[in-house]
Amino acid sequence: YGSIGGIEKIPPRKYRQMLSEKTAKEAKPTDKPQKLPHEKGLYLYISPKGGKSWRFDYRFADKRCTLTLGQYPEVSFVAALNRHHDAKIKLAEGINPAQAKKIAKHELKTAQKNTFDEVAKAWYDSKADRRSAVWRDTHNLYLKRDLSPVLGNIPLPDITQAVLLGALTKAEARSGVKTADRVRQTAVQVFDYGVRKLKVSANLPRLMTGWAEVPPKMNRPWLKENELPGFFDALEAYPGYLTTKGAARLLFLTLVRKKELVEAKWSEFDLDEALWVVPPERMKMPTEQKENRHNAHDVPLSRQALELLKELKPISSGSEYLFPSNSSLEKPMSPSTLNMMFQRMGFAGLLSPHGIRATASTILNERGYNSDYIEKQLAHVERNSVRGAYNHAKYLAQRRVMMQEWADYLDELRQIKPKGYQA
């Protein structure tokens, strides 16, 4: 046979007598590349430097093709026969095995790049600029503390339910089942992003809904109308700080959110105009809305609210905050202070600071006030996106009337002494 195209070729009949694991191992390189043929296009290629590889020559769509089946000795003779057999099956099915190998290699390479950490970072970066600081801090914590240590270096398609369950179980042991399920929901969003970007075919965390018995979400406790006199009586008798008691009273008189109240600054109040303007960056709304100064929340101040502010001014000791921290005038009161006071008053599980808004909304609606005025006072975002885009009314004049009547009504309730009420 001699040399064909510069490659020395051994006669097939002679080689078939020699071909085995042993002959593949003992074959020596020469100064020219060698093909040691077997049958049906399979052969062992030997380079002059001694490298050996199994190859398969075939024709596909009238073109000559070569498929490398693996390096010897990493791929044994028997393994090469099996790969050769698989390649012939693909040919019979009309598939080019060399092209299929390239595609599989590309998919594997792509999958190795699509680790959980890389996809999670891409998802987080795509959202962060339009989300609140709380959103960023929360998801960043869940990713770094709970998910990345377990899933971080694993390609998204290779993450199994058992691996994810392990991460959730650790989170549950550290922070409780509710937090662990919120961790799962963060993973759901990462996988959703991966599905949209064709990095994974299914959302595994979403399929694991119900992985644990998660207690149902409970609404924040609130009081009925006939229970308010008992609360006001307990508040009056409470021996705590005047600032903390004043914060609870102002919460009732303004119906703002607790965080908006405890971080309130004197510069936001215009006592002459009886108006408190809460800046949009401190409101609960999407980040893009916070950048619009027109989304500041105007809170009309009743006569009772103005009197309370005058009482609070001297005891704030020159702080920029209405309710400075007991440890530093440079910081506001802790958001948990009101919750602790309610517990010490005996209202744990009966009323939360946020529940005041539910109590007021219920009573105001029952007394026939316009729901638009109530919702605007509560700074609720319009659920109807079309209506919200066009309705910029603040109903300030109407809310002034409503909030003054609400404050007068609260005064009436304070005069009622609870009968048989036990907090």
Positive or negative, the CA dihedral 146, 150, 154, 155 is negative
**Active-site residue (options: 217, 390, 392, 419):** 390
The DSSP code sequence of 344-398 is HTT-TTT--TTHHHHHHHHHHHHTT--HHHHHHHTTPPPSSHHHHHH-----HHH
**Active-site residue (options: 284, 290, 313, 400):** 284
Question: Considering all CA atoms of the chain, what is the largest pairwise distance in Å, rounded to the nearest integer?
Answer: 116
**Active-site residue (options: 257, 258, 297, 376):** 257
357 is catalytic: yes
CA distance 258 to 264: 10
Element (H, E) at 46: strand 42-46
Nearest to 221 by CA among 351, 346, 316: 351
284 is catalytic: yes
- CB contact at 8 A, 266 and 320: yes
**Active-site residue (options: 55, 139, 297, 357):** 357
Question: What are the strands, taking DSSP E only, across 106-204?
Answer: none
392 is catalytic: no
257 is catalytic: yes
**Active-site residue (options: 354, 394, 400, 414):** 354
Token output for 255: 């119906």
Helix (H, G, I), strand (E, B) or coil at 224: coil
**Active-site residue (options: 40, 196, 303, 380):** 380
Token output for 43: 């052969």
380 is catalytic: yes
CA distance 194 to 204: 11
Catalytic residues, which ones?
257, 284, 354, 357, 380, 390
